[in-house]
Amino acid sequence: MTTQHRLLPALRGFALMLALSVAPACTLGRMSENEPLDPTAVRALEPGVSTAAQVVAVLGAPTDVVPIGRRSAYRYDAQKTKVAALVLIVFNMGHVDRRSDRVWVFFDEEDRLTHVAATFASHRTKYALPWSDVHSEKSMRKADAKREGMQP
Amino acid sequence: MVGALGAVLPLLLAGCVQGQWNRVRYEEPIPAGALERFAIGSEATAVFAALGAPTAVWELAQGGAALVWAHDGEVRLGISASVTFDDSPVLPSLGFGDDRGRVRGVMVLLNRDFKVQEVRSGDLGSLAPPPRRPSPE
């Protein structure tokens, strides 16, 4: 057996190890906190008419209650986070996108609803890399079209 | 030979030199033109229609409420290097990073009648939040 033939298996092994070592490792992760809020249920709340008891019956227990003088404010929220990472040997890239559904309802001193503030964005969360534009109008409209209650 | 060296060099460097490009996005930025849709004296309803639900709400010491909308678009670029000396118990490490982007946001102060009293925007850390009403003991 020539020296060349003896080295060939070793070179193949080295090449395999090298390929495995430099192969990019892609990681995806998703985290959720609380159930997404229902846009249709929130739109059904009527300032001046709905009471705190009715709001709680529809939306459940709030995440937070803030007293504001004789008024009070209840917060409801749900978050979704998507993480994408590309782990190379000497250079790593990562992207974290976290967005929320958030509703604040404000009540007067008689516990009657006065204001509703709502944001529904948890469904717009995307897997992406650092240079991606995840907040483009087109991207958000596309995501909105897929979520019930978000259509105008 | 040069090709093999080029392939092996990253492996050797990986132990002491690493670069990174990370981006963290928390929440969506304030929509363009949203702050022009209300003014001092506007009802809170107009603020909510323009900005959606605030990130945080608290009662002001003088009465009324502070509302904050926050978003973060931090980009971190960096390179770090570390070298180990045989006779040293510590691992010296050199690094630098470029943190672009901070937590930005809008703060709207409402008076007791829930009308806009003041609007501040920019880096959240520099907005000087007004004092909260202390919690009852």
Q: Which of A75, A71, A64 is nearest to A104 (CA)?
A: A75
pTM over 0.90: no
- Specify the pLDDT at position B31: 87
pLDDT at A61 over 60: yes
Which of A127-131, B69-73, B83-87, B117-121: highest mean pLDDT? B117-121
Whether B81 and B19 have beta carbons less than 8 Å apart is answered as no
- Specify the pLDDT at position B77: 73
Shortest distance between the Cα of A93 and any Cα of chain B, in A, equals: 5
Chain B: residue whose CA lies nearest to A107: B114
Q: Which of B104, B112, B110, B107 is nearest to B128 (CA)?
A: B107
Q: Which of B44, B90, B86 is nearest to B65 (CA)?
A: B44
Q: Which of B92, B117, B96, B95 is nearest to B107 (CA)?
A: B117
pLDDT at B25 over 70: yes
- Specify the pLDDT at position A4: 67
B21 vs A67, A93, A135: nearest CB: A93
**Whole-complex ipTM:** 0.79
Q: Give the tens place of pLDDT for each residue, A73-102.
A: 999 999 999 999 988 777 888 999 999 999
Question: Which has more pLDDT, B109 or A6?
Answer: B109
Q: Which of B17, B97, B83, B80 is nearest to A89 (CA)?
A: B17
- Specify the pLDDT at position B123: 84
d(Cα B117, Cα B108) in Å, to the nearest integer?
8
Which residues 22-61 of B have a C-beta within 8 angstroms of A?
22-29, 44-45, 48, 51-55, 57-59
Contact check, Cβ <8 Å, B21/A134? no
Q: What is the mean pLDDT of residues A3-15?
A: 79
pLDDT at B94 over 60: no
Alpha helices for chain A (secondary structure H):
3-22, 39-43, 52-59, 137-146
Question: Chain A contact for B9, CB < 8 A?
Answer: no
d(Cα B134, Cα A60) in Å, to the nearest integer?
28
- Specify the pLDDT at position B21: 86
Question: Chain A contact for B62, CB < 8 A?
Answer: no
Distances (CA, A) of B87 to B72, B84, B90, B102, B133: 44, 9, 9, 41, 58
Sign of the Cα pseudo-torsion (B10, B15, B19, B25, in order):
positive
Whether A74 and A52 have beta carbons less than 8 Å apart is answered as yes
